[in-house]
Amino acid sequence: MHDESLRHEGTSVDPLTGPAVSDMPWLRSYHDVVEVFRSKAFVQGGGGRRDSAPITGYGLLALAGRDHFERRRIEATLFRKDMLRWFERGVLAPALSAKLAQVANQRRGDGQPRTDLLPFLRDVFCDLTCSFWGIDGVGTWDARQRFLAVVDEMTVGGAVEWERGSHREIVSQSLVAQRRFAATYVRPAVQRREALIAAHAAGRVAESALPKDLLTVMLRNSQHFEKWDSEVYVRELTLFAPGDTIMRFVPHMVAEVHEWVSEHPDDRAGLEDAGFLRRCVLESLRLHPASPYFIRKAIEDTTLASGRPFSVGDYVVLDVTTASLDPEVFGPDADRFDPHRVPRHKVKPVGLAFGEGPHTCIGAAMSVGEISARRPDPDDPLGLVPYTLRELFRAGVTPDVDAGARLNSDNARNEFTTFPVRFTAMVSATAGRS
């Protein structure tokens, strides 16, 4: 599964540093990829995030060792269950409900509301991104559009490793957007939070009155961040754009779950069940991970259990997309969506979509909720993605096949650029009042 002939094609780029990913060896078997993810002989910091360093350098994903652990420890406070509950019920729920109501009142022709799921989700998750980051004052429609335009330009450079265009040009444009983002949104947010933190230190503001967001968490732990330059705050924000990530895989889930329940009508009622919803989400994420591959760099000579040797300085690409389809682990029909799939012992149903080892996605539980099925508690958050999926299917979301969805060919992320849907179970506010 990992000979030289299996080097990836179609991602030839103009890298800023080191070899292009197309010139690196690619690992594609599940066990090889897991071994490198967990190995101390490979690093992500300084290796895996190379070209995006001007945009996200010294951010969580670029750190290793003690610095990385300290950063995780500081930022983990934002991913506690009480925070997940707030983001889901206090931020996402009202935003999604308002957007669905807005769409319900825009009926045309056959009376079924239609929309493109991409701009729909982009708008819904704007509030979440602002709340998570700690950006204030993005309230009006115009303000949101201006904000999202800057965020889009900035974040593409933060994930440039997966872009097929010139990395130099993309990073250059993203840096301009990031400077605009810092001046327009971050600077006033920092000033407000520094004043609140100072008032709290003086005993004039209660702990409960302090914002609970990434910016506040970073400013309250400035002794950690001061090890780097003052722009590290903005680069760290750029790494964490929850809406930007979730938007990439929800359309795949809508397509796959819709097809599954159409062919397995007995499972349709399961869309109200947290366990089944979560299995759908994990299975779809296995097939469509938000990050298609990762780069690692060897920091010592080592040989994998499969016999492949690496020398200090060697780069390697971990193809999590293919590894999560490994038939030895996920069965002969590994490329098919099946929410009832049972992988081999000790293998997570989600495959490698959240990575593995120290750099496992810090937002995994925020995205999909409690992965284990052993703690059923109705007060637990469902997870941002299962929640979104449940509400969309309650509204009767159906891919609008006639309008045609399109995939983005500019990068290797297997993301849609347009995904038209209609809602077959919506009741408009107007109809409800009549």
**Residues contributing to the site for other proteins (CB under 8 A):** 34-35, 38, 69, 72-73, 76-77, 79-81, 346-349, 354-358, 360-365, 370-372, 374-375
**In the complex, least distance from residue 124 CB atom to other proteins, rounded to whole angstroms:** 24
Query: 37 CB contacts (<8 Å, ≥6 apart)?
Result: 294, 318, 352, 355, 356, 357, 359
Nearer to other proteins, 3 or 82 (CB): 82
Cα separation of 293 and 286, whole Å?
13
Question: Is 249 or 419 the residue whose CB approaches other proteins more closely?
Answer: 249
CA dihedral 127, 132, 136, 139 (to 10 degrees): 0
Distance CA 21, CA 7 (A): 9
User: DSSP readout, 73-133?
Assistant: HHHGGGGSHHHHHIIIIIIIHHHHHHHHHHHHT---TTS--EEEHHHHHHHHHHHHHHHHH
Helix (H, G, I), strand (E, B) or coil at 303: strand
Closest distance to other proteins from the beta carbon of 94 (Å): 25
DSSP, collapsed to helix, strand or coil, labels residue 297 as strand
Residue number with CB closer to other proteins (89 or 406): 89
How far is Cα 123 from Cα 181, in angstroms, rounded to an integer? 18
Identify the CA nearest to 358 among candidates 2, 109, 48. Answer: 48
65 vs 165 by CB, closer to other proteins: 65
Q: Which is nearer to other proteins, 34 or 130 (CB)?
A: 34
Cβ 291 to other proteins shortest distance, Å: 15
Q: Tell me how far, at minimum, the Cβ of 367 lies from other proteins, in Å.
A: 10
CB of 356 to other proteins, least distance (A): 5
Element (H, E) at 393: helix 384-394
The nearest distance, CB 354 to other proteins, in angstroms, is 7
For other proteins, the closer of residues 30 and 310 by Cβ is 30
> Smallest distance, Å, CB 39 to other proteins?
11
Q: Cα(283)–Cα(236) distance, rounded to whole angstroms? A: 29
In the bound state with other proteins, the residue whose beta carbon lies nearer, of 72 and 107, is 72
Q: What CA–CA distances, in Å, run from 319 to 163, 249, 348?
A: 15, 17, 17
